[in-house]
Structure 1
Amino acid sequence: MTTVIRTAGLVKRYGRTRALDGLDLTVESGQIHGFLGPNGAGKSTTIRVLLGLARATAGEATVLGGHPWRDAVRLHRRIAYVPGDVNVWPNLSGGETIDLLARLRGDGRDEGYRRERARLIEEFQFDPRKKGRAYSKGNRQKVALIAAFAVPADLYILDEPTSGLDPLMEVVFQRELARVRDAGGTVLLSSHILSEVEQLCDRVSIIRAGKVVESGTLAELRHLTRTEVSFAAADAASLGAIPDAHDLHVRDGRARFTIDSDRVAGALPALAQLGVEGLRVEPPSLEELFLRHYGDVVPGPEANPAAPADAAEPEPSEARR
């Protein structure tokens, strides 16, 4: 594998706001890499820097071996980008917009493109004849997704790409994402849908306050956490010592405890001696891994429901030169 995206000590300031604070991120070729964090964590700012839409204040960033700011025009021919809120030209039809976006990436005229475009239009159940002003949010997302997938790319940067899609179209999106990965493409996927990331991604990076706080495969991240084990048991008195078990208790006829994920196998002989016949082992979900870093900022039931959400990341002030 080769490194497709690498940032080291990346810093981005907007006035007094420090949107990125020494971010280190590595994305290898042929992977779907999940990029997780709530609004304001620095995801969109990172993506703007990687696309050459914002210039880093400090640190280093390379994309496909090039500099995202200086080499933006050359790199964009190899990158497909889908934002979370797509705007389209109101007087162009959806089909015309897709063709224009394809031509900006150096394609959109050959027979192979036309076949792929037609296939994706059918898969996404999209009407390309309507004008842009008539499209709903979900249909605007489809325009960007079809344009991104119709022209092969080395790197797909997707920032909340399924926003506004219904569940059926999300299945189509997941299928297309697996297809481009299998064809050798690399994907950086920013998403709030943790189940989607858990199902699709080869690796995950969690960002908080402009820094990557955890990165690795789900298996690696789970290795650092505790797994929940449960089985049928009459009462706690009937249980012997289970090595490395934490928080052992019995409720509603089931014994439950947590154990470091790399110690599960060592507890099995003791469970066998207890005559356990049915055992449920539940590794931590991606949501639980995520909440390790954000559980302290989840509002409680006493929180004011009318209070504003986390502040959105500031818009870049610099213009492209």
Structure 2
Amino acid sequence: MTPDTAVLTEGLTKFYGPRRGIEDLDLAVHAGEVMGFLGPNGAGKTTTIRLLLDFLRPSRGSARILDLDPRRDKAAVHRRVGYLPGELVFPGREPARDLLRFLADLRGGVPWARIGDLADRLQVDLSAPVRTMSKGNRQKVGLIQAFMHEPDLLVLDEPTSGLDPLMQQEFLAMVRDARTGGQTVFMSSHVLAEVQEVADRVAIVRDGRLAAVERVESLGRRAVRSVEIHFADPVAAAEFDSLPGVSGVSVSGPVLRCTVDGRLDPLVKAAARHEVVDLLSSEPDLEETFLSFYYHSEGDRDGARADA
């Protein structure tokens, strides 16, 4: 493990009896980057996070966190990590401020001003008992305890769950600030849209296996976009139906509408055989791109394995 690697897994595997949680995960998270860990619910994201922090023991394989062994160096790892679990449960009846003071003491002391700044940022009243808070406010308390000691590594499981859109944006600003300060962020989500603004790379998991690791801009180049072309005269749909990456072709007189997965070049060259009056292309929808890549490419691979 090199100094510029914050998280490293090799063949990391966890089975629950016959059921696969995660299998043969080989992943490296660079120090100082934001890594989005993406996949639908049940794909293995939470299992992976629990293995990284030694809340679960692997069936086989290994992981290192900040060049430490999660099992042998568990206390040292937890001192340097800020963790937000996907299922957040706070015991007791005390106000949120008392809970955060207790957690701050466990971490060797965190200035109350730092906690107060985070509470102001997330607009949460720390005088209220945690058990009476809404899901969104409990999530804010969870974020405060993860961020407050400015850890080397933030491990966040579905961090925007329960947050309204305004607070989601504030959370993303906190992630940007953490990266600017040299911290590493590993955040799981089933929604690409919430990480595309801040992630350097995304790792995509499907059914307990790593499907791909991509830079966000590379995933964007796979863009699925809607295209509408206005011609001077009517055109035939058959001219465009079989073009690479083109689907959903519909023609109404001189207007063609379709979806393009990937490069626009084949469609543009075909359209150039006619007089083009106007061409409209929507901004790439990374959510649709993710779903297209995630399901279609994996389905192709699964089919290829079956054929083999």
TM exceeds 0.5?
A: yes
Q: In the alignment, what sits opposite 2:211?
A: 213
Say whether the 8 Å CA contact 2:237–2:250 is kept in structure 1.
no
Q: Which of 34, 37, 43 lines up with 2:36 in the alignment?
A: 34
Q: Distance in 1 between matches of 2:128 and 2:290?
A: 43
Aligned residue pairs total 292
Residues 221-248 of structure 1: CA deviation (Å, up to 9, x unaligned): 3445655432223521599889857345
Q: 1:165 aligns to what SS in structure 2?
A: coil
| Cα offset, 1:116, TM superposition | 1.7
Distance in 2 (alpha carbons) for counterparts of 1:189 and 1:124: 18
1:34–1:191 CA contact under 8 A, matched in 2? yes
Aligned to 2:294: 293
- Measure, in 1, the Cα distance between the counterparts of 2:81 and 2:260: 43
Matched residues in 1 for 2:91 and 2:8: separation? 33
Q: Contact 1:33–1:201 at 8 Å: present in 2 too?
A: yes
- In structure 2, the partner of 1:7 is 9
Q: 1:18: which partner in 2?
A: 20
1:54, 1:69 within 8 Å by CA — same for their partners in 2?
no
Distance 1:252 1:163, change over 3 A: farther
Residue 64 and residue 201 in structure 1: after superposition, are their counterparts in 2 closer, same or farther (change >3 A)?
same
Shift of 1:48: 0.3
Instruction: Please say if residues 5 and 26 of structure 1, whose CA atoms lie closer than 8 Å, have aligned partners that are also in contact.
Output: yes
- The 3-state SS of whatever aligns with 1:122 is helix
Opposite residue 212 of structure 2, the aligned amino acid is: E
Change (3 A) 1:225 1:280: closer
2:119 paired residue number: 121
Matches of 2:252 and 2:211, distance apart in 1: 35
Displacement of 1:194 after TM fit? 2.8
1-structure distance, mates of 2:267, 2:146 = 49
2:234 corresponding residue in structure 1: 235
Match of 1:264 in 2: 264
Structure 1 residue 192: Cα displacement = 2.7
1:216: how far off? 0.5
On the 8 A contact 1:85/1:163 being kept in 2, the answer is no
Name the residue aligned to 1:141.
139
Aligned with 1:121: secondary structure? helix
Distance (Å, rounded) in 2 between the aligned partners of 1:129 and 1:245:
56
Change in Cα spacing, 1:96 to 1:227, as seen in structure 2 (3 Å) is same
Q: Does 1:157 align with 2:161?
A: no
Percent of paired sites with the same residue: 38
Q: Distance in 1 between matches of 2:253 and 2:194?
A: 33
Distance 1:246 1:131 in 2: 55
CA positional deviation for 1:293: 3.1
Q: Note if contact 2:192-2:290 (Cα within 8 Å) is conserved in structure 1.
A: no
Counterpart secondary structure, 2:166: helix
Cα distance in 2, alignment partners of residues 191 and 73 from structure 1: 26
Gaps of 5+ in 1: 297-321
Q: Distance in 1 between matches of 2:258 and 2:132?
A: 55
1:238-277 CA-to-partner distances (Å, cap 9, x unmatched) read 998898573454247532345562x435765665673344
Cα 1:202–1:253, aligned 2, differ >3 Å: closer, same or farther? farther
Instruction: Give 1:174 deviation, angstroms.
Output: 1.6
Q: Which amino acid in 1 is paired with 2:37? A: F
Inter-CA distance 55–245: structure 2 relative to 1 (3 Å threshold): closer
Of 285-294 and 159-168, more deviation after overlay is shown by 285-294
Note if contact 1:86-1:137 (Cα within 8 Å) is conserved in structure 2. no
Q: From the superposition, tell whether residues 163 and 227 of structure 1 become closer, same or farther in structure 2 (CA, over 3 Å).
A: closer
Kept after mapping to 2: 8 A contact 1:7/1:26:
yes
1:75 is paired with a residue whose SS is helix
Q: Deviations over 1:150-175 (max 9, x none)?
A: 21111111101222222222222121
Give the Cα–Cα distance (whole angstroms) in 1 for the partners of residues 106 and 144 of structure 2. Answer: 14
SS across alignment from 1:56: coil
Deviation at 1:15, TM superposition (A): 2.3
Distance 2:86 2:61 in 1: 26
CA distance in 2, matches of 1:99, 1:221: 42
Root mean square deviation of aligned Cα: 3.0
TM-score in terms of structure 2 length:
0.83
2 CA distance for matches of 1:136 and 1:47?
25
